[in-house]
Amino acid sequence: MFHLAQLGWSPFFEEQVSPQERSRWVPARVAQEARELYRLFAEPGERWGEPAGRLRREGKPLPGVGDWVLADWSVPGNARIERVLNPRSRVSRKAAGRQTRQQILVSNADTLFLVTSADRDFNLRRLERYLAAAWESGAVPVVVLNKSDLAEDLELLRDQIESVAIGVRILTTSALRGEGVGTLRVFLRSGQTAAFLGSSGVGKSTLINTLLGEARQSTAPVRKSDGRGQHQTARRELLLLPEGGIVIDTPGLRELQLWDGEIGSASAFAEVAALAAGCRFRDCRHGDEPDCAVLSALASGALDAERFENYQKLERERRFLESRRDPAARAARLREVKRQMKEHRRDSHRKRGR
């Protein structure tokens, strides 16, 4: 048996449910997903559920871990998921492969612990991408610098994180030694949800095991050959902490291509957006346009070149995905490509005619 408040239920979700729906269906939270079967936590207890055929026929969104759903608990066998409630926050990415498809990583997290490690896997550019995803999601990002016992210069690493995680709280932990893990509990009061995101081997599952007080989540050592993590957590899973609070463990991410990163990119790279406001042209791409404030900052050293390059990469990915999802944007992109090709051919003719 669970209490809804213990699972993170709030007026935000209650307001989405009509009295008729409340009398027929049960609010439940998705704790685990396994091939369109969903482990549900609800007041009546724990049960596996599957989406109603109507959801698939009507193209309605299927839930992800952390989502709230309305389920028919009266049917035999698996409960039947009738509706997915709108989330307060959601982390999505483009699914791996060539198809343009959204993959929900986690829903309804209040806090996103962006876990990086103080060993050879430390990567500022990757962290910038995670920060963009976090700001886009609607949850509050917190950077967790784990494996502090392996750092050669911990203060230097913190300074580097502060340079890109502007206004974001940074926690330092050593999950193996149990140091600093208590600082995470501030974000894990009863009914509060925190999701752990990061690449393989940074220590997400070890941190969660420490919070749980038991070795529940599988862990594996990093490879000695290159210091890279090994996939051990195979699925996203929502877990209830003994003292209250909810954590969501996620598999290590090899790739995080943002699904819709306009807000997240502008927030994660706030200084670039501020500089761009000073460019002569509102649609400046910061390439070879005159009076470009961003290029001036790069030339003077006021803007870090590698950070700006990462920003441009994210923007290219975002515009490409937007063009794939939106036919009008796709047509505009094709027109722009054709225009660039024509200019290239004209330039080539001029050079040959010299």
Q: What is the per-residue pLDDT across 243-261, written as a single tens digit (0 to 9) for each?
A: 889 999 988 665 555 656 5
pLDDT at 161: 95
What angle do the packed helices 124-137 and 154-164 form, to 10 degrees? 50
pLDDT at 101: 57
Q: What is the mean pLDDT of residues 333-350?
A: 57
* Cα gap 37→61, rounded to integer Å: 14
Residues 61 and 200 reside in one and the same domain:
no
Q: Which residue has the higher pLDDT, 339 or 203?
A: 203
**Top-ranked range on mean pLDDT: pick from 102-106, 167-171, 233-237:** 167-171
Residues 75 and 191 reside in one and the same domain:
no
Mean pLDDT in the chain?
83
Residues 304 and 234 reside in one and the same domain:
no
% of residues, the chain, pLDDT over 90: 49
Residues 95 and 227 reside in one and the same domain:
yes
On whether residue 255 sits in a domain, the answer given is: no
Nearest CA among 222, 129, 236 for reference residue 193: 236
**Residue 233 per-residue DSSP state:** -
| End residue of a domain, out of 62, 84, 106 | 84
pLDDT at 231: 43
Total tally of structural domains belonging to the chain: 3
pLDDT digits (tens, 9 = 90+) for 106-142: 999 999 999 999 988 888 989 988 898 888 888 999 9
Q: Which residue has the higher pLDDT, 79 or 130?
A: 79
Residues 136 and 240 reside in one and the same domain:
yes
Residues 266 and 243 reside in one and the same domain:
no
Residues 98 and 174 reside in one and the same domain:
yes
pLDDT digits (tens, 9 = 90+) for 311-321: 888 877 777 66
Residues 139 and 214 reside in one and the same domain:
yes
Instruction: Identify the domain containing residue 49 by its residue range.
Output: 5-84
| End residue of a domain, out of 215, 249, 283 | 249
* Burial class of 191 by CB neighbour count within 10 A (0 to 12, 13 to 18, 19+): middle
Residues 29 and 113 reside in one and the same domain:
no
pTM for the model: 0.79
On whether residue 254 sits in a domain, the answer given is: no
pLDDT at 345: 59
| End residue of a domain, out of 84, 112, 135 | 84
